Chains A and B, each alone.
Chain A
Amino acid sequence: MKTVSFFSTCLTDTVLPDVSRDSVLLLEKLGCRVVFNPKQTCCGQPLANSGFQQKAKKAMELQMEALLEDEADYVVCPSGSCTLQVKEYPNFFEDQPDLLEKAERLSEKIYELTDFIVNILQQTDLSASLKAKAAYHPSCHMTRLLDVKEPPLALLKQVAGLELVDFKGQDKCCGFGGTFSVKLGPLSGAMAAEKVENIREAGAEYLIGADAGCLMNLQGVIERRGYPIKVRHIAQVLMAS
C-alpha cells in the first residue's frame, strides 16, 4: 500500500475544503493510505510571485518539514500551480546545502493529483459518472510549466455520461495569477470574463479544472453574471457517481 502525504494547499483547506476532502477520498478509494500533516500551511507562491522570495522562504521551510515528516512514499497535491511551486523549491535554496537537500527530496516526491493517479497509480477508469456537457480549463502552471497535460483528460474521458466540449481560447490564462488578481483586479477580471463567456458560448453546463485558484476566479465571474454553470474541481467529478 502506498502512503501519501496530502498537501491540501491553503486555498482548498479554507475556501474549497470539499476539493481536498474528495481528493483524499479518491486516493483512499484507489488504495492509498493518506496522511495529513497539520503543520502545513501555504506553499509560499503568492509571496514568491510578487517578488518577496526571502519572505516566502519561512513558509517553504515549513512545508518541507510538514510534508517530509511522515516519510510517506509520495506527496500529492490537488493543484497544479502549488505543486509547481513546491517542485521549484530547490531554486530558492541553492546556497543552503542542508535545506537544498530537503527541497530536492520534496521536489521529487510531490505529484499533482491527476498526474499521480494516471502515472503512478496507473489508473484511469475510476467508475465515476456525471451526465453533463462540461468544459475543461487546462490551467497554465499545470500544463505549461509542470507539463501535466494529458492526465486530467485521460481521467475525464472515462467518466460515464460526461461530454467534454472545446471552447474558444481554451488554453488561454483565466486571469487569476494569484496576487495579480487583486493587484490589477479590473484587468484580471476582464481576462476571466472573456474565458467565462467562451465557456458559456460552448454550451457547457459544468466547468471543470484542476486548480482551485482558477476555478475560484472563474466562479466569481459566473456568479456575478448569474450564469447557470456549475464549477467543479476534477477530484469532485471523479468522486461523483
Chain B
Amino acid sequence: MTIKTSDLPLKERLQKELGNPQMRKAIANAQDLLNGKREAAFEELGDFEQWRETAGTIRSHVLENLDYYLTQFADKASAAGAQVYFAEDASQAAGYGLEILQKRKAVKAVKSKSMVTEEIGLNEMLEEAGIEVIETDLGEYLLQIDDHDKPSHIVVPALHKNRDHFRRVLAEKKGYKGDNVPENMTRFVRQLIRKEFLEADVGITGCNFAVAETGTVTLVTNEGNGRFVTTAPKTQVVFLGMERIVPTFAELDIIFSMLARSAVGAKLTSYMSLMTGPKAPEDKDGPEELHIIIVDNGRSRVLESDFREVLRCIRCGTCMLECPAYRHISGHGYGTLYPGPLGLALVPVLAGYDDYKEITKICSLCGACNEVCPVKIPLYEFIFEHRRIIAEEGNLTPAGEKILMGRYGDVIGSSALYGLATKAARFSSFAPKVGPLKQWSIDRDLPKIPKTRFRDWFAARKKNGGVK
C-alpha cells in the first residue's frame, strides 16, 4: 500500500461507502464507545487544555529543532550499536528494508502495526521479492487474511468490520470452527501467530516515538505482539517517521500519556517496548542486529511549508473518531492512508494537491477536531487554508468554477445585483432539480421560497409608520 488507497473519483468513493450500512453502524458504534472512554480518561487526568498545550508545545519545539534532535538521535542510536539509515522517499525506505532482509536471506518476517510501512509500500515490495510478511496486530492480521483489505483507521485498522464478518473470514481462510466471541477468535489467531513469531527471520516495526537523548526507539501496543516482534527474531528493522522524535524520556512520558488516552481511552497501553541498540552480551534476549530507517517521504516539504505544525501529530486517531463526516464513510472514503481531519490537513501537502485536492471537500468545517486534538494542531485552519490555495493559487481549480464563483462574488458584492437575484429567486418555486441543488435534493426537500423577502417587509413597515 502507499499513501493512495483508491483510484475511484471522490463522489463514487463516497457513494460506495455510504451504501455500506454494516460499515456505518460499526464505525458509529466504535466512535461512540471510544469517544466516551477518551473523555473519561482525560477527565481523570485533570485540565485537558493545559495538558494539550504542554504536549503541543513539546511537539512544536521538536519540529523547530528537528535537525538537531535527528542528529542527536542518530548519533546515540549508532553509539548503542544500531545501524541508522536516512531514506528520502518511499522506494528508498522500502528498498533499504528489502536489502537488509535479503542480506539475511530472510524468507519470513513478522510485523507489528505500522502506518509508515504502509505509507512506503513495504509489504508489497517484500512480497514481490518472495518474502512472506505476517502482520501480527490482530486487526491488521484479520485484514491481511481478508484478501488484503485496507485499514480504515490509523489506530483501529479494522474498525469498519464486525465480528460476524471476521468469523466467516477466519473459517474460510484458516479453518476456524468456533463462534463469533472476540475472545475465542483472538485465542485462535494467537495460536496461529505464535508459530510465526518463532519461525520469522526478521522482525519489522514502526516506532511511536524515538528518544533523542538516548537513541531509544519505542513501541506501544495493547496486544503484546510488538514485544514478541522485537524480541524473537534475530534481526530487527524499525521504520521511523522523521518527525516522531522527543528530546528525552520526560517528554516521552507526557506524549505517551496523551497518546494512550486519546487513542483508546486508557491511562497507558498494555505494553510499552523500549529498545536502545541491539542485544548486549549480558542481555538474555533481543535482536542481534537493529536497523533503524528514518523516513522522510515528503515530511521535509511539510516542514518547510505553512502547514508545519501538522507534523505535531502523534497518530492517535482522535480527530477521526470525533469527525461527523468520517463517521459515515470510514477511512476508506478518503482514498488515502491518513483519513479524517488529519488526512485533509496533512496529505495534500505531504503528497501533493494534484492527487489530494479533492479530499479537502470532505469537511463541513464544524471544528470538532480542533477541540479534541491532544497536541492542538489547528486542523480547521489548515483545511480552510488548503481550500484557499486550491481555489486561488496555480491551476488547481477549473476555470469554469472560478468564473461561476466570481459571478457569485459579484452578486453578493453588489446591493443592486443581490436585489435582482433575490427577487428572481422568489419565482423559482419550481425548485431547480439541476446543478448544485440536485445534490441537496437527493435526501432533503428544498425550502419553499416565500414571496416577500424580509427587507420588503421591513421597508413596507417603515413606509407605514414603523410598527408591525
B interface, CB within 8 angstroms of A: 10-11, 14-15, 18, 24, 28, 324-325, 327-329, 333, 361-368, 370-371, 380, 384, 386-392, 397, 402, 405-406, 408-415, 418, 422, 425-426, 436-447, 449-450, 452-455, 457-459, 468
Contact = CB atoms under 8 A, between A and B. Distances in A.
Given A173-B324, A185-B439, A190-B18, A10 B412 contact: yes
A80 B55 CA distance: 31
Contacts of B24: 190
Contact of B447 (A8, A13, A145, A216): A216
A41 B409 contact: no
Contacts of B458: 20-21, 24, 36
18 contacts: A20-B458, A52-B409, A55-B405, A140-B368, A144-B367, A181-B440, A183-B436, A184-B11, A185-B441, A187-B325, A190-B24, A190-B328, A192-B443, A194-B328, A219-B447, A220-B443, A220-B444, A223-B445
Given A47-B405, A184-B362, A41 B413 contact: yes
B439 A186 contact: yes
Contacts of B333: 187
A145 B367 contact: yes
Nearest to A224: B445
Interface in A149-208: 172-173, 175-194
Given A185-B438, A220-B445, 10 more contacts: A10-B412, A24-B458, A36-B458, A42-B412, A176-B364, A180-B361, A187-B329, A189-B442, A190-B24, A194-B327
A58 B392 contact: no
A8 B455 contact: yes
B440 A220 contact: yes
A59 interface: yes
A92 B418 CA distance: 22
Contacts of A36: 455, 458
Contacts of A66: 415
Contacts of B329: 187
A59 B409 contact: yes
Contacts of A181: 439-440
A97 interface: no
Contacts of A219: 445, 447
User: 10 closest pairs, A vs B, by CB?
Assistant: A177-B364, A185-B439, A58-B413, A220-B444, A51-B391, A189-B443, A51-B387, A55-B409, A173-B366, A182-B436
Contacts of A14: 422, 425-426, 449, 453-454
Contacts of B438: 185
Interface in A63-97: 66
A25 interface: yes
A186 B367 contact: no
A131 interface: no
Contacts of B444: 189, 192, 217, 220-221, 223-224
Nearest to B417: A41
Given A46-B408, A221-B444, A8 B368 contact: no
A180 B387 CA distance: 12
Contacts of A220: 440, 443-447
A104 interface: no
A66 B112 CA distance: 61
Given A62-B414, A187-B325, A140 B439 contact: no
A38 B455 CA distance: 7
Interface in A193-241: 193-194, 216-217, 219-221, 223-224
A53 B217 CA distance: 44
A56 interface: yes
Interface residues of A, number: 68
Given A15-B449, A177-B365, A192-B443, A52 B454 contact: no
Contacts of B426: 14
A185 B442 contact: yes
Contacts of B453: 13-14, 17
B367 A180 contact: no
A16 interface: yes
A127 interface: no
Given A25-B468, A220-B447, A180 B18 contact: no
Contacts of A18: 450
Contacts of B328: 187, 190-191, 194
A141 interface: yes
A39 to B, nearest CB: 5
A119 interface: no
B178 to A, nearest CB: 34
Contacts of A217: 444
A12 interface: yes
Contacts of B468: 25
Most buried by A among B380, B457, B458: B458
B362 to A, nearest CB: 7
A16 B444 CA distance: 17
Interface string A12-38: 111111101100110000000000101
Contact of B413 (A16, A17, A61, A190): A61
B412 A59 contact: yes
A224 B431 CA distance: 14
B315 to A, nearest CB: 24
Nearest to B324: A173
